Amino acid sequence: MSGRPTIRDVGRAAGVSHQTVSRVLNAPEAVLPATRARVVAAIEALGYVRDEAAAQLARRH
């Protein structure tokens, strides 16, 4: 992986889909605690930082 990690990179590292990573970020109560913990650990390990500009564009759609 080169550059900033993406939501897909986090999903791969956690063994889940990018949609599950999105749920953890947007509605954590909708994800099982064990899965949420794996995703959070992957986010921290990779240094993932949400791209707020991209998130805003996605919300407008």
d(CA 60, CA 7): 19
State CA 37 to chain mean position distance: 12
pTM for this one?
Answer: 0.84
CATH number for 40: 1.10.260.40
CB neighbours of 5 closer than 8 A, spacing ≥ 6? 46, 47, 48
Name the domain count of the chain: 1
Q: Note whether residue 1 is domain-resident.
A: no
* Domain region containing 44: 7-60
Q: For 2, how many CA atoms within 13 A lie in the half-sphere containing its CB?
A: 0
The pair phi, psi for residue 27, each rounded to 5°, is: -150, 70
Q: Note whether residue 18 is domain-resident.
A: yes
Could you read off the pLDDT of 10-52 as tens digits, one per residue? 999 999 999 999 999 999 999 999 999 999 999 999 999 988 8
Q: Note whether residue 2 is domain-resident.
A: no
